[in-house]
Amino acid sequence: MARYLIFQLYGMLAAYGLVAVGEVRLSAGHPTRSAVFGLLAACLGIRRHEEARLAALSGGYALAVRVDAPGTSLLDYHTIQTPPEKSKRIYRTRADELGGLLGIDEPPYTVLSRRGYLCDAHFTACLTPAAAPPTDATPPHTLEALAEALRRPVLTPYLGRKSCPPSLPFHPRLGEYDSLEAALADYPLEKLAFPAGLKPHDPAVVFADEDEAITPATVTSRPLVRDRTVQHGRRLFEERRGVCGVTAPGVVAPRGRDKEAGHVPH
């Protein structure tokens, strides 16, 4: 048996970035690996410039995400004002960017974009220490420490973009299970995220890092994705081969006391 950390990701709006070129910035249909570990890094208080800590966090665990409710896609039209770039000029505030440091003949530029979001999407994430992590990326935190960080985050967590805060607590739960599928099946879905008439997706789609995480008979595809972070500061990612399959849907149930995680729902 292996030890797992399971938690929910639900928001009125969420955006899990794909490869973004040009003005259209769409969202993936589920939380990407970089989005989940970026959220965990914020909860732990790891800053974006701490590349070694971020790499150890991402490389030390295997991840799977179950799609409980895929939500509805939304494409929003954005206009953004940005200042012209000049050497030796540092913009310290938004007021500086929009005129405080600009000359009379330097109006701000306007950037147009369309950004994709997911509305009312619910996901269940499942983590376990990687079976064979890189030598420099052994699990840097216990699952208990990750659960505590999800309950009491150091920095503000968000679902992909800063404008997308979580709408419900993460409700982390710890346990030992024979498989990832067993861990997901034992995690109750949040009743508040599934009001009357809304049911979990059946069958549920699950995305995982490794083939071993999903029963071979239920594997539907092995997509090539670019969501493993190489360098956070420059937003560099590398490709990897994931695995997608189907599993039993989660069960909506009232939450009781989670003794092992030490959390009492409000």
Q: What is the pLDDT along the chain (266 residues), one digit of tens a residue?
A: 899 999 999 999 999 987 767 777 888 889 988 899 999 999 999 998 888 898 889 888 989 999 999 999 999 988 888 777 777 778 778 777 777 777 777 777 788 888 999 999 999 999 999 876 554 557 889 999 999 999 999 999 999 999 999 999 999 999 999 888 889 989 988 887 786 667 788 888 888 886 556 676 687 777 777 677 666 666 667 777 778 888 888 888 765 544 444 443 33
Q: Is 17 helix (H, G, I), strand (E, B) or coil?
A: strand
246: Cβ contacts below 8 Å, ≥ 6 apart: 203, 204, 205, 206, 218, 220
182: Cβ contacts below 8 Å, ≥ 6 apart: none
pLDDT, residue 133, reads 54
DSSP state of 256: -
DSSP state of 99: I
pLDDT, residue 28, reads 86
| CATH T-level fold of 2-71+120-252 | Alpha-Beta Plaits (3.30.70)
Reported in sequence order, the residue ranges of 23-108 that DSSP labels E, i.e. its strands, are: 24-25, 61-69, 72-82
Please tell me the pTM assigned to this model.
Answer: 0.81
pLDDT, residue 191, reads 80
pLDDT, residue 263, reads 44
Annotated domain spans of the chain: 2-71+120-252, 77-112
